[in-house]
């Protein structure tokens, strides 16, 4: 099996390691956040607000993060973003009141927006078009593996101390920031841009939106946020217990199946996106997500439920690498605000999806909720059907001019 980082710029491995560290730390602290908030004597809703404020600030500050990337540069914004999240997490662990915790988590959301936008923008900038799928695949695998490993450590750590996870999270961010500073400070961006054919000028959001391929990528990222990051995390646990009448452990089994399939598919899907084009695999990913929603709607027991979760994993992997490659192609490797808008689409889906699906489940049934989710994936598939191919074959280095 080929080494996942073979023939990729060193920066891809560095960014993947940073992504793993950030996701690991977030997974460690996530179980402790609502419990720590409850320790200040607040309601369940107030405890949930501590979780929501991070996501809300991250969402609304993404455009500003994109503009910072365009004006200051990816590396500076990345380092500052990691630093802000790290310091705010350390101080959050020392919080003496609920209000302090709430404010510090909001500050962390701004730092998170800076990190996610800048790291992805830097990835697209240093990687040649014919390697964007592979690079995105290994980068997203770093996030995924960190997110899987984090809760495994976070649960026992939270049982020992509700403050300790915040300090460990700050430590993982310190490691990530140190790695980024040490290895990315001297990145020869001009040399990478020349080799990758990166655009000399920054692409604005208005220019990107004129491309139907970019719009398809944004719509599909919204659908991924709705179905995978939203409904899968919020409605599935309730559906397993109340709809399928299975034990709560089946929720964990389904999430593991989905994550394992996603991890297995990501890197090979990246290679296929580079060799076979973005459009076929964007369409395939949207079709798999659509099939997953239908499978969930008609699941009556564990077998079809697990099959649907596996389809979600495969579909999200294909969509993750294909949509990212499309964005990189459209902006020519440079453009902070189009990257920010692309990532905001996923966050918006993750916010709207659980609310809409939950309301439909309450008013009608779980089946209607999952069919509506499948409908969102169907609209995303339509956008993929009408988009042009953005991959451009490049001649070999020794080919005649």
Using DSSP's 3-state secondary structure scheme, residue 170 falls into helix
- pLDDT for the residue 197: 55
Q: What tokens were used for 159?
A: 């049982």
DSSP class of 127: S
Domains annotated for the chain, with CATH where assigned, are: 10-196 (1.20.1250.20), 205-386 (1.20.1250.20)
Are residues 90 and 167 in contact, defined by beta-carbon separation less than 8 angstroms?
yes
Lowest mean pLDDT among 81-85, 141-145, 157-161, 162-166: 157-161
Using DSSP's 3-state secondary structure scheme, residue 8 falls into coil
Using DSSP's 3-state secondary structure scheme, residue 229 falls into helix
Q: Is the pLDDT of residue 50 over 90?
A: no
What average pLDDT is seen over the chain?
Answer: 87
Are residues 237 and 250 in contact, defined by beta-carbon separation less than 8 angstroms?
no
- pLDDT for the residue 398: 36
Q: How does 13-45 read in b/e, with b if 16+ C-beta sit within 10 Å?
A: bbbbbbbbbbbbbbbbbbbbbbebbbebebeee
If one counts every other C-beta atom within 10 angstroms of the C-beta of residue 77, the result is: 26
Instruction: Read off the pLDDT band of 81 (50, 70, 90).
Output: very high
Instruction: Tell me the mean pLDDT in the region 149-167.
Output: 85
Lowest mean pLDDT among 40-54, 234-248, 253-267, 298-312: 40-54
Cα-Cα-Cα-Cα torsion 306, 307, 308, 313, nearest 10 degrees, comes to 90
Q: What tokens were used for 1?
A: 């099996």
DSSP class of 202: P
**Total residue length of the chain:** 401
Lowest mean pLDDT among 90-104, 228-242, 318-332: 228-242
Encode pLDDT of 183-242 as tens digits.
877 766 665 555 555 556 788 999 999 999 999 999 999 999 999 877 877 788 889 989
Using DSSP's 3-state secondary structure scheme, residue 190 falls into helix
Phi, psi of 162 (to 5 degrees): -80, -20
DSSP class of 203: P
Encode pLDDT of 302-318 as tens digits.
999 999 999 999 999 99
Report the C-alpha gap between 317 and 284 in whole angstroms: 10
Report the C-alpha gap between 145 and 35 in whole angstroms: 24
Q: Which of these, 142, 193, 111, 130, lies nearest to 15 by C-alpha position?
A: 142
Using DSSP's 3-state secondary structure scheme, residue 114 falls into helix
- pLDDT for the residue 148: 84
Report the C-alpha gap between 209 and 232 in whole angstroms: 29
Are residues 11 and 120 in contact, defined by beta-carbon separation less than 8 angstroms?
no
- pLDDT for the residue 400: 36
Instruction: Read off the pLDDT band of 108 (50, 70, 90).
Output: very high
Report the C-alpha gap between 256 and 151 in whole angstroms: 12
CB contact set of 190 (below 8 Å; sequence gap of 6+): none
Are residues 309 and 317 in contact, defined by beta-carbon separation less than 8 angstroms?
no
CB contact set of 275 (below 8 Å; sequence gap of 6+): none
Report the C-alpha gap between 298 and 283 in whole angstroms: 23
Q: Going along 41-195, which residue ranges are E strands?
A: none
- pLDDT for the residue 396: 37
CB contact set of 212 (below 8 Å; sequence gap of 6+): 383, 386, 387, 388
Are residues 177 and 82 in contact, defined by beta-carbon separation less than 8 angstroms?
yes
Lowest mean pLDDT among 150-154, 354-358, 361-365: 150-154
If one counts every other C-beta atom within 10 angstroms of the C-beta of residue 104, the result is: 23
Percent of all residues in the chain with a pLDDT value above 90, rounded to a whole number: 52
If one counts every other C-beta atom within 10 angstroms of the C-beta of residue 395, the result is: 8
- pLDDT for the residue 110: 94
pTM value? Answer: 0.86
Instruction: Read off the pLDDT band of 90 (50, 70, 90).
Output: very high
Lowest mean pLDDT among 89-93, 157-161, 277-281: 157-161
Report the C-alpha gap between 393 and 129 in whole angstroms: 9
């Amino acid at each position: 099996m080929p080494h996942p980082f073979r023939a990729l710029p060193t920066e891809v491995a560095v960014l993947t390691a940073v992504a793993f560290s950030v996701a690991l730390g977030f997974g460690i602290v996530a179980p402790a956040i609502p419990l720590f908030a409850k320790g200040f004597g607040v309601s369940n809703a107030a405890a949930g607000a501590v979780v929501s404020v991070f996501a809300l600030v991250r969402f609304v500050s993404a455009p500003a993060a994109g503009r910072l990337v365009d004006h200051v540069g990816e590396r500076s914004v990345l380092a500052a973003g990691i630093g802000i999240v790290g310091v705010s997490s350390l101080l959050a662990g020392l919080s003496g009141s609920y209000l302090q915790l709430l404010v510090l988590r909001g500050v962390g959301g701004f730092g998170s927006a800076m990190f996610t936008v800048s790291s992805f923008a830097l990835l697209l900038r240093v990687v040649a078009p014919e390697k964007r799928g592979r690079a995105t695949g290994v980068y997203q695998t770093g996030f995924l593996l960190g997110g899987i490993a984090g809760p495994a450590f976070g649960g026992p750590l939270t049982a020992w101390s509700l403050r300790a996870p915040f300090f460990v999270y700050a430590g993982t961010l310190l490691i990530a920031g140190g790695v980024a500073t040490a290895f990315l400070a001297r990145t020869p961006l001009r040399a990478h841009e020349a080799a990758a054919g990166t655009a000399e000028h920054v692409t604005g959001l208005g220019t990107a939106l004129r491309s139907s391929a970019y719009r398809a990528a944004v719509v599909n990222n919204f659908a991924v946020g709705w179905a995978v990051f939203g409904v899968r995390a919020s409605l599935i646990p309730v559906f397993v217990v109340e709809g399928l009448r299975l034990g709560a452990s089946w929720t964990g089994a389904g999430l593991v199946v989905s994550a394992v399939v996603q991890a297995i598919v990501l890197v090979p899907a990246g290679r296929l996106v580079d060799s076979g084009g973005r459009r076929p695999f964007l369409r395939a990913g949207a079709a798999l997500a659509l099939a997953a929603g239908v499978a969930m709607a008609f699941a009556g027991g564990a077998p079809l439920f697990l099959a649907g979760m596996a389809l979600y994993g495969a579909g999200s992997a294909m969509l993750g690498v294909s949509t990212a490659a499309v964005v990189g192609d459209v902006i020519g490797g440079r453009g902070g605000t189009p990257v920010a808008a692309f990532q905001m689409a996923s966050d918006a889906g993750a916010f709207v999806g659980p609310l809409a699906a939950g309301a439909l489940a309450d008013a009608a049934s779980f089946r209607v909720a999952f069919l509506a989710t499948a409908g969102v994936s169907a609209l995303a598939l339509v956008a993929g059907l009408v988009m042009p191919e953005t991959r451009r074959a490049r001649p070999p280095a020794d080919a005649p001019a």
